[in-house]
Amino acid sequence: MFGKNPAKQGLKIIIVGCGKVGATLIEQLSKEGHDITIIDKNSDKITEITNLYDIMGITGNGASYSVQKSAGIDSADLLIAVTASDELNLLCCTIARQVGHCSTIARVRTPDYSNEVGYLRDALGLAMIINPELEAAKEAARILYLPTALEVNSFAHGQAEMVKFKIPEGNILDNMAIADLGKNIAHNILICAVERGGNVYIPSGNFRLAAGDVISFVASNKVPKHFLGSVGIKNSRIKNTMIIGGGKVAYYLASQLTNMGISIKIIETDKARCEELSLLLPKAIIINGDGTDQELLREEGIESADSFVPLTGIDEENVMLTLFAKQVSKAKVITKINRNTFREVINSLDLGSVLYPRYITSEAIIAYVRAKKASRNRNIETLYHMFDSRVEAIEFCIDEESAVTGKTLMELNLKDNLLIACINRNGSIIIPSGQDSIQVGDTVIIVTTHIGFSDILDILK
């Protein structure tokens, strides 16, 4: 057993698995003051991570009854299983439910299980099953539907979207005040964050936009494409996509894109995987070859591709493929990055849309943890970290009357650097003004530079 563990405010959480997702969860959850114990078979990993964070570490099998007892399962609030094995994760959670009666979350990535998530969750009594590859594919598909966007995040069960894009040189938005945008062009969107020169702003109405700004706005799901068109940013429909690498994300993405009527070409080095994919994806073209071979890419039509998505398991390859695609084509490119190192360098390369599957996983889990900490069931519905985790967008469920309900927004004494971006009322999306109010039954999207909100009351001074 490693580490030290003084009394803390927060939940008692056991994390099984010390890989990329486990490390990301430890980084995020330790900042938020939770009492964390990590279990992994690799003692070197345990030593490394307990030296970095004020947490406990146990070397052993996370599915072992005795190891879980040593980790304090009897008094734990939550066990999160994120090992490389789906079956081990499910077994860890099953044992934890029997021994400790705590809530459990499992990472389950295999496509065989993806259609059985509801059954597995209910049968095993899990609080959540998270599939990072499937969620990454969904995010990539949303971006390809709106190709000028850098990111597209979904709220209110898909009824609302938060879209990030960069203002081009000479655009109508250059030097426009946000208040004038609302009056003259679009009253049904709300600009909620602006990144300029390395700084992030939660803008007021008199904030003036500038070419080169990266802005995030929120709107109902039918509005973004129309809004971008109205400010001169055209979104041509993607007709075909070239994917490099035939792993789980590629399978999930290709499945979704073929349903959208987009032609798919996948280049994969492993012949057996190619044969498997050709059966799983009969509408896609599967090429057995080296996706990093420039001649092969040219032969297969990279120069005329509408979109290009490198999904190899090697970050450096994905980055180089993106840079090559941007050099030889006008394709919309999405780059998958697994590691967090050199993030500033990656941002400086102007790769466009970048997917971080580990953060998609951690955000969903952190949303659940904060809801549980607030002791109101499902108080937080959705959580996204934006602009390198300097801004949070949180969707709160309003399940009872409180100090924020029944008053106009202009009457609320809100914290600085915070916007109430959107209200979902019975499936109807409201972009709020000062005259609107929050009602019981609503879900409300808050965008703020404050980190760690777990209750809607946190928005008040």
Per-residue pLDDT at 322 exceeds 90: yes
Band (421; pLDDT cuts 50, 70, 90): very high
- List Cβ neighbours of 223 (8 Å cut-off, separation of 6 or more): 186, 188, 189
Options 3.30.70.1450, 3.40.980.10, 1.10.510.10, 3.90.700.10; CATH for 136-230 is 3.30.70.1450
| Residues 221-273 pLDDT 10s | 889 999 999 998 888 889 999 999 999 999 999 999 999 999 999 999 999 99
CATH topology of domain 12-130: Rossmann fold (3.40.50)
Identify residue 182 by its one-letter amino acid code. Answer: G
Q: Which fold has domain 240-355?
A: Rossmann fold (3.40.50)
Contact 210, 165 (CB under 8 A): no
Residue 378 has pLDDT above 50, yes or no: no
**Closest CA relative to residue 420, chosen from 398, 397, 394:** 394
Tell me the sheet residues that pair with 394.
Answer: 383, 446
Dump pLDDT digits (tens) for 79-120.
999 999 999 999 999 999 988 889 999 999 888 887 788 888
Q: Do 136-230 and 240-355 have matching folds?
A: no
pLDDT at 375 over 80: no
> Per-residue pLDDT averaged across 350-363, rounded?
85
In the predicted structure, residue 17 carries a pLDDT above the cut 50 = yes
What's the pLDDT tens digit per position in 140-181? 999 999 999 999 998 888 899 999 999 999 999 999 999 999
| Owner of token pair 């890989």 | 19
> What does the H/E/C string look like for 157-202?
HHCEEEEEEECCCCCCCCCCEHHHHHHHCCCCCEEEEEEECCEEEC
Q: For the chain, what are the domain ranges?
A: 12-130, 136-230, 240-355, 362-459
The average pLDDT across 118-130 equals 88
The separation between the first and the last C-alpha atoms of the chain, rounded to the nearest angstrom, is 42
- In this prediction, residue 156 carries a pLDDT of 86
Fold of 362-459: Alpha-Beta Plaits (3.30.70)
Quick one: pLDDT at residue 458?
92
At 4 the pLDDT is 42
pLDDT of residue 9: 63
